[in-house]
Structure 1
Amino acid sequence: MSFDYDLFVIGGGSGGVRAARIAASEGGARVALAEESRMGGTCVIRGCVPKKLMVFASAYPDAVTDARAYGWDATVGGFDWPHFRASLDRELDRLEAAYRSGLTGAGVAIFDARATLADAHTVRLASGETVTAKHILIATGGRPFVPDFPGCELARTSDDVFRMESLPARMLVVGGGYIASEFACILHGLGVDVCQFYRGAQILRGFDDEARGHVASAMQDRGITIKCGTDVIRLEKTEGGIRVISTDGSDREFDAVLYATGRRPNTAGLGLEALGIELGRNGQIPVDDWSQTAVPSIYAVGDVTDRINLTPMAIREGHAFADTVFRGEARKADHELVASAVFTQPELGSVGLTEEAAREQEPIEVYAAAFRPMQSMFAGRPDRVLMKLIVSARTRKVLGCHIVAPNAGEMIQLAAIAVKMGATKEDFDRTVAVHPTMAEELVTLRKPVRTA
């Protein structure tokens, strides 16, 4: 059978773009890609990149305060949100153009349209045009989820934050995951009065308990109100903003409410069920280790599969797919020991097992140190950082590393290499410290603080 393309990719995010580019430029495949929104997907357009730029912007008041403590005649005025947003828009335009250029340079045909599945080898575009392909890759990512409750239409999502015309004076952030916690810190740093609701016992569920408790305490010390065990009952529009009635009995008005209560795979209306692909509980596409669905010609990568929802993981999955199917190099994406960072203030970097998961698996030793870092201590700020290693009592391998500190994301990237290689505690001990740094604590932790 003759097909229009060897590969048709639905979704122009990081995973889909990587798969398309590698299949075309290195695999010699005829490739097309359809994207209904902006090229670059969640990470580039409404996720990691703009969020991290907002993190940078929100950190300058502390930097100026520290500068004064160090002897500089420094002041910080008000934050100019329209100026920042205009600069942000220009940067996102630049990145989108770079993504497009990379695809067209590799010979990928681009369709700026929504695409759905007509059958196992046919894609239907919003224009009504149909295109056939030997292989189809779904890489449509995820979308913010807002539960159904009275007044839910008044809530904003993380996608909306980057498009705000002005910064609200008072904002409620609902959710306890990394997106909610990051935006609580960002908005607070930009001068917004922030309150965060989370229905669970502690924010950042899934991360090491000690580390997430450290982050929560630091956020509260900075002036963010965190109310755990609390959820919204209803939202009501008022003359001055939004009235929030919550489960703890409080009744308070905010200028805006941001819901960051999780994301869902973006699979609605794609036509997968009609082809015999039964979606998972959250709408995710079930795939095997090769990212192949129950229909042999259809594959899926990235957040739409709900495996590890991180941009670098989507890129790895897309690349592995292209290598396997089009370059003759059978390769699975490795989902073990994937490092992550939460860009709160302070940041949280993590790789491997939490203390809680590790002690359920085997006997462990826990090495940890919490201390005031040199830079902020000199400036008179009470900030504390945490360095923590989880070690197997039997093999001596470092099973997990957790860092709460400024630039923890940068540190955990390097620590992850050692953990991925199977380094032991003695390997860390043999490494000479770089002094004076925060990270030197990782190689100077001599005695366990506890065993389990």
Structure 2
Amino acid sequence: MTDYDLLVIGAGSGGVRAARMAATYGAKVAVVEEYRVGGTCVIRGCVPKKLYVYAARFNDMFDVASSFGWQVDARFDWSTLVANKEREITRLESGYTANLEKPGVEIIKDRAVVTGPNSIHLVGGKRDLTTRYLLIATGAHPFIPHIPGAELGITSNEAFDMEKLPHSILIEGGGYVAVEFATIFAGLGVDTTIVYRGDCILRHFDEDMRRGLEAGLTDRGIRLIYQTNVNSLTQAGNDVMAHFSDGVSAPFGAVMFATGRVSNTRGLGLETAGVELTAGGAIAVDAFSQSSCPSIYAVGDVTGRAQLTPVAIREGWYFAETVFNNNPLAVDHSLIPTAVFSDPEIGAVGLTEAEAATHGDIDVYVARFRPMINTLSTRTERMILKLITEKDGGRVLGCHILGPGAAEMAQLVAVPMGMKASKADFDRAMALHPSAAEELVTFKSPTYIYRNGEKHVG
């Protein structure tokens, strides 16, 4: 006889969903969380980030306001934003807690260490608990490069609650976090620089999206330094001096590392239960989120599969269905819409052009135009919509959008794509005018095609 049917370590999106659903199926469940309920997404990830992106976007709105007859005298107060953000995530944390307590899930505020296939030790409470099943949902944390002076830098964890905005910031990295925080800081008036070891930001995205965002960031005054690393940091008065791999050094008000995220597996005691890890330190799981130890499962960022909140939620849901509702379900990770909340914004679902070209003959449709909100102003930024299909009106393989509302459009396009919709299916949809999204259903002929792996234009 065990103390619980399910013990969940980690009260983030995946762990909360799994615990709540398992409890509704009659399981005795407890969640162990050493920090705050809600996980990275709610406390120091998606939610506060999107709120800060909204704050930063007012800068663009003020920029075009005069072309619509508005005269704006705006001033920004960082402390107000931080306080309002904290109030909102506290509200959401309360909601997450209530959703757990309603079906009877016990919340234990402590640190848990695995001591065997069916047991954990509570470090603070100094007691042991047993369980039929154990779910690891401990998420991930920002990677900090192993360089001299790294302690002088910050990560996304600290960026939301800085005492004051720095006069300038250097952000190392070229992924989601780097470009989103560059948008935030630049929009709030901070002199912003990105340094990245690659030759262009957003390595795994479609090339047109990468170059379009690159141009958009540059238009907003963000400096981009490529093929360069930060070798070390030193204190320089109130600033931080960054020493680059090309021999150049420069002072910044703050330096932020956005160099990837690492699964939270260290110190969990997983080795005591024989849980295998991947080469990157994530928990290796099968299609049903089961680890190499039959009684231990894992969902969310700790598995290193797709570090996105909706994916963790779906994995937690399917885990509960599989283990506690006798309804085995495996998450399909093959078609996941994603968004980059930068300015300009990116929304994408499906294959990139480069990926699709390796799958056979394809047609590529591209539209570039000024967003309507900019047409009365002098802003020249272009919006880009790209549809990639099998040849001759076949199945839609990818959709990539850069510009206002890109994320919302990508989410909706994911529905027909999940149903294996063809270009002909898109063509049957009536256009909604005037909208940017209408371009997706009014493409008449391909901008260019690939046949036998070769690109043909015209």
Matches within 5 A, 1:402-417: 402-417=400-415
Counterpart selection for 1:57 from 52, 55, 58:
55
Structure 1 position 264 matched with structure 2 position 262: yes
Structure 1 position 84 matched with structure 2 position 69: no
SS state at 2:357 partner: helix
Shift of 1:395: 7.3
Instruction: Give the equivalent residue in structure 2 for 1:7.
Output: 6
| Deviations 1:345-384 (CA, angstroms, capped at 9, x unpaired) | 0110000000011111211111101111111121221121
Structure 1 position 93 matched with structure 2 position 90: yes
Q: Is the 8 A contact 1:388 1:403 kept in 2?
A: yes
Partner Cα distance (1:439, 1:250) in 2: 45
Q: Is the 8 A contact 2:21 2:320 kept in 1?
A: yes
| Deviations 1:98-124 (CA, angstroms, capped at 9, x unpaired) | 111111111001100011111100011
**Identical positions, percent:** 49
Instruction: Give the equivalent residue in structure 2 for 1:72.
Output: 70
Instruction: Give the equivalent residue in structure 1 for 2:321.
Output: 323
Q: Is the 8 A contact 1:202 1:213 kept in 2?
A: yes
Instruction: Give the equivalent residue in structure 1 for 2:17.
Output: 18
Instruction: Give the equivalent residue in structure 1 for 2:131.
Output: 133
Amino acid at match of 1:8: L
Partner Cα distance (1:203, 1:61) in 2: 23
Partner Cα distance (2:216, 2:247) in 1: 26
Shift of 1:394: 6.6
Q: Is the 8 A contact 1:137 1:298 kept in 2?
A: yes
Partner Cα distance (2:378, 2:392) in 1: 42
Instruction: Give the equivalent residue in structure 2 for 1:163.
Output: 161
Partner Cα distance (1:330, 1:170) in 2: 51
Shift of 1:280: 1.1
Shift of 1:250: 2.3
Q: Is the 8 A contact 1:273 1:279 kept in 2?
A: no
Counterpart selection for 1:450 from 448, 451, 458:
448
Partner Cα distance (1:415, 1:252) in 2: 44
Instruction: Give the equivalent residue in structure 2 for 1:40.
Output: 38
Structure 1: state its 5+ residue gaps.
Answer: none
Matches within 5 A, 1:328-367: 328-367=326-365
Instruction: Give the equivalent residue in structure 2 for 1:435.
Output: 433
Q: Is the 8 A contact 1:347 1:404 kept in 2?
A: yes
Instruction: Give the equivalent residue in structure 1 for 2:174.
Output: 176
Q: Aligned pairs, how many?
A: 449
Partner Cα distance (1:47, 1:136) in 2: 25
Counterpart selection for 2:109 from 88, 109, 112:
112
Instruction: Give the equivalent residue in structure 2 for 1:121.
Output: 118
Structure 1 position 303 matched with structure 2 position 312: no
Partner Cα distance (2:410, 2:229) in 1: 33
Partner Cα distance (1:62, 1:216) in 2: 17
Instruction: Give the equivalent residue in structure 1 for 2:228.
Output: 230
Shift of 1:325: 0.8
Amino acid at match of 2:113: T
Instruction: Give the equivalent residue in structure 2 for 1:377.
Output: 375
Shift of 1:328: 1.8
What RMSD in Å do the two structures reach over aligned CA positions?
1.0
Shift of 1:73: 2.5
Partner Cα distance (1:348, 1:83) in 2: 28
Question: Relative to structure 1, is the Cα distance of residues 448 and 395 closer, same or farther in structure 2, using a 3 angstrom cutoff?
Answer: closer
Structure 2: state its 5+ residue gaps.
Answer: 451-458
Partner Cα distance (1:75, 1:448) in 2: 46
Amino acid at match of 2:284: P
Partner Cα distance (2:72, 2:189) in 1: 18
Q: Is the 8 A contact 2:363 2:392 kept in 1?
A: no
Amino acid at match of 2:122: L
SS state at 2:328 partner: coil
Shift of 1:322: 0.3
| Deviations 1:194-250 (CA, angstroms, capped at 9, x unpaired) | 000000011001111111111111110111001111111111101130111112332
Instruction: Give the equivalent residue in structure 1 for 2:455.
Output: none
Partner Cα distance (1:264, 1:43) in 2: 15
SS state at 1:156 partner: coil
Q: Is the 8 A contact 1:24 1:107 kept in 2?
A: yes
Instruction: Give the equivalent residue in structure 1 for 2:289.
Output: 291
Q: Is the 8 A contact 2:169 2:193 kept in 1?
A: yes
Partner Cα distance (2:252, 2:327) in 1: 55
TM-score using structure 1 length: 0.98
Question: Relative to structure 1, is the Cα distance of residues 163 and 65 closer, same or farther in structure 2, using a 3 angstrom cutoff?
Answer: same
TM-score using structure 2 length: 0.96
Q: Is the 8 A contact 1:363 1:394 kept in 2?
A: no
SS state at 2:186 partner: helix
| Deviations 1:162-187 (CA, angstroms, capped at 9, x unpaired) | 12000001000000001111000111
| Deviations 1:294-324 (CA, angstroms, capped at 9, x unpaired) | 1110000000001111000000000000011
| Deviations 1:330-352 (CA, angstroms, capped at 9, x unpaired) | 21112121100000001100000
Amino acid at match of 1:384: R
Q: Is the 8 A contact 1:377 1:383 kept in 2?
A: no
Q: Is the 8 A contact 2:393 2:424 kept in 1?
A: no
Amino acid at match of 2:250: R
Amino acid at match of 2:127: E
SS state at 2:375 partner: helix
Structure 1 position 281 matched with structure 2 position 271: no
